[in-house]
Structure 1
Amino acid sequence: MNSQARERLYFPAADLALHDNGIRTESYRRDDTVVEVSFLPPGAVLAADSVAGARVGMVVRGELTVTVGEVTKLMKAEGDAYVAPPNVESKAVNTSAEETIALVIKRNKPGEAYNAPAGYFLEPIESRKFVGMDVTFFLADWVELMIADIPAGGEMPYHKHNHEQIGVCLDGRYEMTVEETSYELVFGSTYFCAGQEGHGAANPNEGLARSLNIFIPPRYHRVPQVAAE
């Protein structure tokens, strides 16, 4: 695989879509996973175009009124997340007077189970220091989210693990390397890293960078499996 093909695999370009209701969406895909970053003007409604797979969502700017199944919650930026399992509808409405930015991870991989937490919504389970970064975790049984602040000069050393990892730049900019292919991420940019693909991150800039990292299955907090009766 040449260098251009590797870059497209690990750091795919966005597919852009402008919807009739004014919502603009940037979509990034690798195999069975899509990351969508949507910009919602006031009053706009964002509904799932398909419920065949699982969806994990978070507000990254502003606020949204989100309904998953029969449960509705006002979500604020980085305050919580939701997990919508297959065949359960989800919808978001921007009831504020400002543009809101929402991030949704869509997953439909054969052989995987996508159980959802009771009530569908996740609160942070932990915030702490990790490799010089401030990190916050959200956890479901099949997916783990980690928001990380990468300080100026900070880095995540190059490493490998069995878990699939997907990341989105939430603020600032930083350099991500996957399998020795490096790319500068800016807001919305997404990387995809399969299990045992080497990767690391560095922020050589003066300002703080923020990232959302998605681990499938959970990496840092393992969810105990309940034996079937």
Structure 2
Amino acid sequence: MTAEVREHPYFPAPGVALHDNGIRIESYRREDTEVRLLFIAPGATLRSDESRREAHVGMVIRGEITATVGDVTKLMEPEHDVYVAPPGVGLSVVNTASAESVLLEIRRSKSGESYPAPSGYFLEPLESRKFVKMDVTFFLADWIELMLADIPGGGEMPYHKHSHEQIGTCLDGRYEMTVEGTRHELQFGATYFCGSQEGHGAANPHESLARSLNIFIPPRYHRVPQQEAEQETP
């Protein structure tokens, strides 16, 4: 008799799809949220119509793309620009570079939530600073916060809990992520999902730097009520 192998919800295996237009998609999902890595060939275009129900949030992590949200078009530079496309607003992206570009996109549709767009649909870095010995950069919208983090060799984010959902993807190097006592080493593209009040922490036991994108829903570090901020561990 073969034992049943159950996949942990914290570290889902990716689904992979190859489109005829030269776009390969790796998809990680937990419940109402999906994280996608889109490997976009030069000249390839991807469109999402206005009838979709999900909010889309995207950041270029390699190369460059031109994105159009509603009637606003922007050339997006890697790790600098973020689009926030609410349900009911058209979205299209095209790789205008001469080499493959990689887009990281979050899709979310959860009952009872609203997904307002920032003015102009695009975000730029809000703040860069040191945080628990890491160099971090924040991007902020009303309902979502993104944090780019450099985890130095030997660096660690202590194990903690908070009420905000947290999702993260490894962008460079490798590091160990622990969620509710389950440890997993993340390399490029690997994604974790951490629900409200699920304990989690990260450590980089290697000599080389690791880089990650961490997503908080709702925003945590710039919109947390003072009382909650005093009670919670960073």
Task: Measure, in 1, the Cα distance between the counterparts of 2:224 and 2:116.
Answer: 12
Deviation at 1:4?
Answer: 5.7
Task: Measure, in 2, the Cα distance between the counterparts of 1:4 and 1:205.
Answer: 30
Task: Measure, in 2, the Cα distance between the counterparts of 1:48 and 1:181.
Answer: 36
Aligned match of 2:229: none
Deviation at 1:46?
Answer: 1.8
Aligned match of 1:9: 9
Aligned match of 1:217: 218
Alignment of 1:170-209 (within 5 A): 170-209=171-210
Runs ≥4 in structure 1, deviation > 4 angstroms? none
**Pairing 1:41–2:41 present:** yes
What is the TM-score normalised by the length of structure 2? 0.92
SS in structure 1 at match of 2:9: helix
Aligned match of 2:231: none
CA distances 1:133-178 after superposition (whole Å, capped 9, x unpaired): 0000000000000000000000100000000000000111100000
Over aligned residues, Cα RMSD in angstroms?
A: 1.6
Structure 2: gaps (5+ residues): 226-234
Structure 1: gaps (5+ residues): 225-229
Task: Measure, in 1, the Cα distance between the counterparts of 2:12 and 2:47.
Answer: 24
User: Contact between 1:169 and 1:210, CA under 8 Å: does it hold in 2?
Assistant: yes
**Pairing 1:136–2:141 present:** no
Alignment of 1:59-138 (within 5 A): 59-138=60-139
What is the TM-score normalised by the length of structure 1? 0.94
Q: 1:4 to 1:214 in 2, by over 3 A?
A: farther
Deviation at 1:8?
Answer: 2.6
Q: 1:216 to 1:4 in 2, by over 3 A?
A: farther
SS in structure 2 at match of 1:10: coil
Deviation at 1:103?
Answer: 0.6
Q: Percent identity?
A: 71
Deviation at 1:48?
Answer: 2.5
Aligned match of 2:27: 27
More divergent stretch after superposition (197-206 vs 41-50) = 41-50
User: Contact between 1:141 and 1:223, CA under 8 Å: does it hold in 2?
Assistant: no
SS in structure 2 at match of 1:20: coil
The amino acid that maps onto 2:135 is: D
SS in structure 2 at match of 1:111: coil
